[in-house]
Structure 1
Amino acid sequence: MNDDSSAAALAGSLRKELDRYPPDGKLPSSRVLVERFGVSPVTVSRALAALAAEGLVVTRPGAGTYRAAEPAGRPRTVDTSWQQVALTAEDPDAAPRVVDASAVLATLAAPPPGVIAFTGGYLHPSLQPEQALGAALARAARRPGAWERPPVEGLAALRAWFGREAGAGPAQVLITAGGQAALTTALRALAPPGGAVLVESPTYPGALAVARAAGLRPVPVPLDADGVRPDLLADAFAASGARVFLCQPLFQNPTGAVLAAGRRRRVLDLAHAAGAFVVEDDFARRLGHGGPLPPPLIADDPYGTVVHVASLTKATSPSLRIGALIARGPVVERLRAIQVVDSFFVPRPLQEATLELVGAPAWPRHLRAVAAGLRERRDAMLAALRHRLPALVPDPAPSGGYQLWLRLPDGTDETALTTAALRSGVAVAAGRPYFPAESPAPYVRVTFADTTGAEEITEGVRRFALALALTGEGEGTHSGRYG
């Protein structure tokens, strides 16, 4: 059990016992609570802080913790029926907005206790650089001016760090609150209201949610094992009039595909000919499993058509919400204006801590550990699939990222399968939300980053195979590409 869940359990126990104490009565000391419940002092501190936030207790420095003299006011109940009308009444001439975060929330939701998570999109705590992050945050807090307002574009040193890999200067970089915020800013800045935006099919559901919430129309461009197909990309530009193509050239989510060297320039030429921008979501740059990587697409861009999205979140911690937008030309000012209107700037302490992290000797060691950890987990999942479900093994296997994209037998009910899997004790993601239009075939995405290692992965695949058998899909499975 982690500290957060332990603190929540302790807070629940103390909450039930508060009636034993009179108003303004003193609770047992932290030392007594540590001994009684067998938890750490940190857990006790967090539990008491939670009760204080609810207005149930009051902490007095040097004196202890007391039951609040007056209970906190109960939440007021009001009639909100009118909101159903207000939230759906739109201008009939305007582009419809679809605000649906269900697919994103599904990847963020913690599975029930005892369920193995093949849905997580972040590193398991054992792979996160927790000590290095803590040390970086402590050093950052001691920096002069650490709590002063930063430049709205971000700290110059951090912008320079992100820009080097993309072959860009600091003036061409904006620091963002993670990759998702960068995608939101980019699509709002580049695509006209009600317009089309070309996306890979399948693609990251969070990008589809951003586009639809902005009133944009995602238009699918199919992939194969070498990334987006340039012939279909040309057709999509011509048919839709789109001015934006959103893609993931490196370890694409969910397929793991890498855009082939022979297609990179062709994609840029097609976008330039259409007068369009390419939004390059380079979220997996630091999630390779070892070996050389192609440079970012923006590094080979001769036109200024690429708007590059970088992020450190996937390779560190879900709470290090630091990313960057990199572009050339007047579009930088448009991106900057949208970001300032939305959020002003990224908090300076987080930027300072990031600089401390990436400048420390522990940083390259952490990246090597991530590569080794992901490679070991990928190999364990592939081995388990070959043993129990050989027809589902993807070909080729991804050389980076944190997921496998599994083609299911024709006619498989994804919803029934994911429900059966959850009942069997493993969480997997249905493939349907990854397609911007009709799905060409049934798929599931299984991730391995948020697992403890080979033993848990092997058990998770066993449970998944059981779910397939329970739904009648365990026999006759076959491999496939991307539809």
Structure 2
Amino acid sequence: MSKDNRSSAVAAQIRAEIADLSPGDKLPGVRELASRFKASAATISEALAELSALGLVRAEPGRGTFVARREPIREADYSWQTQALGPARVDADRASRLGGYGTPQHVPLSWGYLAPELVPGGELTRITARVAKHSRSWQMTPVAGSPDLRRVIAADYTADPGDVLIVPGGQQGLAYALRTLSEPGGHVITESPSYPGVILAAQSAGLTVSSVPADAHGIRIEALADELERTRARVVYVQPTYANPTGAVLAPERRTALIELAAKHGAFVVEDDWARYINLDEKAPRPVFVDDPNGHVVTVTTLSKPVSPGLRLGAVIARGPAGERLQAARAAEDLCVSPLTQEVTHALLTSQAWVRHRGRLSAELTARRDALVRAIHTYLPDVTLQSIPRGGLHMWGRLPEFARSREVAENAYAAGVLVGDGRHFFVNEPSGQYLRFSFGAATEAQAAEGARLLARVLET
């Protein structure tokens, strides 16, 4: 038993004893307590400090430790807050599931990050130890981020480094871009199904979210044109490369049409490029940002997905006055992303460790994806996969007509399997019963076991 656990155990025993004492009663001294509990003086002191923090005892220097007076506990009245806060913007049910990852005992068939064994932990540890010795790792960077890191990220987008803004993760980048490019009360259009986090980000910014159907080739352009005419939305959100949850890639002709529509309506396209570095069977399509010279496309990218969920770093890339406004507004929220995190990221991206990691990651995720596909075909023949993704972390499965995604997801959780309830990926009513499957966290053996358990759930 560690010392922390030991001191907590002793504190629990003392707490039980003082329940029968009166306020002002003196406790035995540290030596006596140490002898009684067969613990060190330091452990007894930690236990007493814990009880003091809880207001159960009070220490008087030179006199000892006494049972504290127990004040009557009054039930707090928070009813006034409901009126003061007004209607909630963010869907609490959707938000509660965005970061839900079950317990260590659950088979993770739906999770938006890499499994611990796929994270380049050794390389990150060595790089961090090295760059932490540099004084610049502990000094402020410009608000927009480290110039060196901005140059590295800009290269993949043929962008000017001055157009790159470093942010603490992709989710923060999305929320920040939507809030800055739109006005409260405005509209944002998203493909459907889509990433639940963007729906929450739009709600938080006070925006009305409209949706346009997407298929295996991405957002449907004719429907988007109609929705732009109807809503006069200023922002359109898309995932052109290996979308979450479907794995879809926006078709080349739709990419061109998307830029043309944005130009016609004077709108921004927020390109969520989270999966750029998670390509499996092919080279990832180039960013839509590259084909837009006039600043309609604003790209958000992240390193938290392809490297580690603990590496909270991303970037927003925008040209023209929009980029200037994003960078100017940044100072009001966060003066800079942690310089140490920026230095670690820069060192990783410019090292052979990054090349090796991407190679290993592609091979491992390909094997895991194929294992999950086999498991679904073997144990869940009634589940129809929309397509086999060639990158990213997710695939989209349609349930048989008799099943309901909410019940299936809840019962699967009770059976020890984490799957994504398709309802949360739609803005409004879902067009069918779907589950999201992910292959970044489950091993090949877990994929088979999870599919087998899910089959039992569907049987009942």
Same fold per TM (> 0.5)?
yes
Q: Residues of 2 paired with 1:318 and 1:27: CA distance? A: 44
- Residue 67 of structure 1 corresponds to which residue in structure 2? 46
Query: 1:467 — aligned with what?
Result: 457
Q: What is the alpha-carbon distance in structure 2 between the residues aligned to residue 25 and residue 158 of structure 1?
A: 57
Q: Give me the whole-angstrom Cα distance separating, in 2, the residues matched to 1:312 and 1:97.
A: 31
Q: How does 1:14-25 map to 2 (within 5 A)?
A: 14-18=7-11
- Whether 1:148 and 2:139 are equivalent positions in the alignment is yes
The alpha carbon displacement at 1:390 in A equals: 2.5
Q: Distance in 2 between matches of 1:119 and 1:397?
A: 16
**Whole-Å separation in 2 of the counterparts to 1:27 and 1:167:** 69
The 3 A distance-change label for structure 1 pair 382 and 139 is: same
Alpha-carbon deviation of 1:85? 3.7
SS at match of 2:396: strand
Q: CA deviation at 1:160?
A: 0.7
Could you tell me how far 1:58 is from its partner in structure 2?
10
TM-superposed CA distance for 1:344, in Å, is 1.9
Aligned-pair CA distance for 1:287: 1.1
**Superposition deviation, residue 449 in structure 1:** 0.8
Counterparts of 2:196 and 2:332, CA distance in 1: 25
* Alignment CA distance shift 1:384-1:26 (3 Å): farther
Matched, 1:189 2:180: yes
Q: What residue identity is the alignment partner of 1:222?
A: P
The 1:429–1:26 alpha-carbon spacing in structure 2 relative to 1, beyond 3 Å, is: farther
The letter for the 2-side match of 1:465 is A
Q: Which string of whole-angstrom CA distances, capped at 9 and with x for unpartnered residues, describes residues 7-26 of structure 1? A: 8xx85455113467977669
Instruction: Identify if the C-alpha distance between structure 1 residues 417 and 269 changes in structure 2 by more than 3 Å, giving closer, same or farther.
Output: same
Q: Is the 8 A contact 2:101 2:418 kept in 1?
A: no
How far off is 1:361 after superposition?
Answer: 1.5
Aligned to 2:397: 406
User: Does 1:223 pair with 2:214?
Assistant: yes
CA distance in 1, matches of 2:223, 2:31: 72
Render the CA deviation track for 1:58-91: whole Å, top value 9, x for unaligned. 98xxxx9952554332289675534x44344468
Residue in structure 2 matching 1:350, options 335, 341, 350: 341
Relative distance call for 1:27 and 1:438 in structure 2 (3 A) is: farther
Bigger Rg over Cα: 2
The aligned residue for residue 81 of structure 2 is 86
The residue identity in structure 1 corresponding to 2:8 is R
Instruction: Provide the alpha-carbon RMSD of the alignment.
Output: 2.7
Kept after mapping to 2: 8 A contact 1:196/1:242: yes
Identity %: 36
Structure 1: how far apart are the matches of 2:103 and 2:33?
32
CA distance in 1, matches of 2:76, 2:48: 32
Q: State the distance in 1 between where 2:12 and 2:98 align.
A: 39
> Could you tell me whether the CA contact under 8 Å between 1:23 and 1:69 is conserved in 2?
no
Aligned-pair CA distance for 1:97: 5.0
Matched to 2:81, the amino acid is: A
Query: Structure 2 CA distance, aligned partners of 1:422 and 1:282?
Result: 30
Give the partner amino acid of 2:77: S
1:104: how far off? 4.1
CA distance in 2, matches of 1:406, 1:58: 59
Query: Structure 1 length normalisation: TM-score?
Result: 0.82
In structure 2, do the counterparts of structure 1 residues 151 and 65 end up closer, same or farther at CA, with 3 Å as the change threshold? farther
How far apart are the structure 1 equivalents of 2:391 and 2:328?
34
Alpha-carbon distance between aligned partners in 2 of 1:468 and 1:220, rounded to the nearest angstrom: 30
CA contact (8 A) 1:186 1:335 kept: yes
* Distance in structure 2 (CA, Å) of the matches to 1:110 and 1:11: 27
Matching of residues 361-440 of structure 1 within 5 Å = 361-440=352-431
CA contact (8 A) 2:7 2:46 kept: no
Unpaired runs of 5+ residues, structure 1, are: 1-5, 34-56, 471-483
Q: Distance in 2 between matches of 1:219 and 1:130?
A: 40
Would you say the 8 A contact 1:278–1:305 is kept in 2? Answer: yes
Q: 1:66 to 1:295 in 2, by over 3 A?
A: same
Counterpart-to-counterpart distance in 1, 2:83 and 2:348: 45
Q: Counterpart in 1 of 2:65?
A: none
Deviation of 1:252 after TM superposition, in Å, equals 0.6
Tell whether the 8 Å contact from 2:382 to 2:399 is kept in structure 1 after alignment: no
Residue of structure 2 equivalent to 1:280: 271
**Cα 1:167–1:175, aligned 2, differ >3 Å: closer, same or farther?**
same
In structure 2, C-alpha distance between the alignment counterparts of 1:212 and 1:99, rounded to whole Å: 5
- What is the TM-score with the length of structure 2 in the denominator? 0.86
Moved more, 351-360 or 168-177: 351-360
Native 8 Å contact 2:403 2:458 kept in 1:
no
- The 3 A distance-change label for structure 1 pair 111 and 25 is farther
In 2, Cα distance between equivalents of 1:440 and 1:19: 53
SS of 2:332 mapped into structure 1:
helix
2-structure distance, mates of 1:86, 1:151: 38
5+ long unaligned stretches in structure 2: 15-27, 56-70
Q: Check the 8 A contact 2:300/2:315 in 1, yes or no.
A: yes
C-alpha change, 1:387 and 1:72, in structure 2 (3 Å) is same
Q: 1:180 aligns with which of 160, 171, 189?
A: 171
2:256 to 258, 262, 265: 265
Deviation at 1:410, TM superposition (A): 2.8
Aligned to 1:314: 305
* Aligned amino acid, residue 445 of structure 2: E
| Contact 2:406–2:423 (8 Å) recurs in 1 | no
